[in-house]
């Protein structure tokens, strides 16, 4: 017997139709631009899947046979967890591929900057040891040319503070990874997370100016909107430590690129890891291309790509398992 699953966010209708054959045990009902989730609520619904849609007492009250609530993504800020738990419902989350991919790149850039990886690779491949008067010698357990280029920018990230601007799914996934690396997480967003989610992602709220002043790494992970256009300008960059790095995996227009280039050129900040730019592809004549304290990527944060089929498919697979016991 099929069990009905309500997908509360509009925009998943095509994905649900594509995936229906893969989940013959589920009857998929989707909200769309003409039918909100509340209007589709019924006593037949056993499972509820939500991405950004609000799951509140009003919606839950229309689902008397509901057994499980599933969040697409780990940050369940849109779920009334007290109402869900008060009903004794199963409550689960599945990570989304897109935010995971971008968070991986953000952490990769942080680690690469901490080891000055691009410059060190170049130094080895070009044989720069010769300029230090060194000669290659065979190594042994206790005989090696440790740190032979004496790169003074190399450091560890453990104990460093990461400031995340924009604590959506990407920011939350990045915080989880940075915490494992021993970093302290600060975040800024318009509406702070609940205490429960702050604990889950091991992150503390800070006002933007405080975050910029305290962080060793600042990662921009907020959407590009009229409100965030140029939100990190010369005034904000001036608040950062000289030893701090900026990482942008969001959109180029959020940072005043000229102000950032000036600060990087004058060593008023230590470096940057950039996957996004004001113009893309990055113009060959951009001053960023000539800086040795910057790591540049060709907007690869999305990894191998994702779509609603992939993310909804992961959610349906988990919901099918839950409903099957």
Active site (catalytic) residues: 251, 280, 299
* CA–CA separation, 319 and 237 (whole Å): 45
List the one residue out of 183, 232, 189 whose CA is nearest residue 212: 232
Question: DSSP code of 271?
Answer: E
* CA–CA separation, 16 and 209 (whole Å): 43
* CA–CA separation, 19 and 274 (whole Å): 36
Q: With the CA atoms of 63, 64, 68 and 69 taken in that order, what torsion angle do they form, in degrees rounded to the nearest 10?
A: 30
C-alpha distances (whole Å) from 162 to each of 185, 218, 246 are 5, 6, 10
Query: In the block, which residue shows the tokens 């631009």?
Result: 33
Question: DSSP code of 55?
Answer: B
Asked if residue 281 has a cis previous peptide bond (ω within 30° of 0), the answer is yes
Cβ atoms of 117 and 295 within 8 Å: the answer is: yes
| CB-count burial class (<10 Å; 0-12, 13-18, 19+) for 46 | buried
* CA–CA separation, 83 and 69 (whole Å): 11
Query: In the block, which residue shows the tokens 């060194």?
Result: 134
Return the SS3 of 50: strand
φ/ψ of residue 88, rounded to 5: 70, 30
């Amino acid at each position: 017997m099929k069990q009905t699953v309500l997908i509360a966010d509009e925009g998943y209708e095509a994905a649900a139709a594509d995936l229906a054959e893969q989940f013959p045990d589920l009857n998929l009902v989707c909200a769309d631009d003409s039918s909100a989730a509340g209007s589709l609520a019924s006593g037949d619904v056993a499972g509820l899947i939500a991405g950004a849609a609000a799951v509140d007492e009003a919606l839950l009250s229309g689902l008397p046979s509901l057994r499980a609530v599933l969040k697409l993504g780990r940050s369940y800020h849109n779920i009334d967890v007290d109402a869900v738990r008060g009903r004794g419902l199963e409550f689960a989350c599945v990570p989304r591929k897109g935010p995971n991919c971008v968070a991986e790149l953000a952490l990769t850039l942080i680690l690469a900057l901490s080891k000055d990886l691009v410059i060190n690779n170049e130094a080895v491949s070009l044989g720069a040891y010769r300029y230090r008067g060194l000669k290659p010698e065979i190594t042994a357990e206790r005989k090696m040319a440790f740190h032979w280029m004496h790169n003074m920018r190399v450091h560890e990230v453990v104990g460093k503070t990461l400031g995340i601007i924009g604590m959506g799914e990407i920011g939350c996934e990045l915080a989880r990874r940075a915490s494992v690396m021993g970093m302290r997480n600060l975040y800024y967003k318009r509406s702070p997370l609940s205490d429960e989610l702050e604990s889950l992602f091991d992150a503390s709220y800070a006002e933007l100016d405080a975050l910029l002043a305290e962080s060793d790494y600042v990662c921009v992970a907020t959407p590009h909107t009229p409100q965030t256009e140029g939100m990190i300008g010369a005034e904000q960059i001036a608040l950062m430590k000289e030893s701090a790095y900026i990482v942008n995996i969001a959109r180029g227009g959020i940072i005043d690129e000229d102000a950032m280039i000036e600060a990087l050129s004058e060593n008023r900040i230590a470096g940057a890891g950039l996957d996004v730019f004001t113009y893309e592809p990055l113009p060959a004549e951009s001053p960023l291309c000539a800086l040795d304290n910057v790591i540049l990527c060709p907007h690869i944060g999305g990894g191998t790509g994702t779509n609603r089929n992939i993310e909804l498919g992961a959610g349906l697979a988990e919901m099918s398992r839950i409903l099957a016991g």
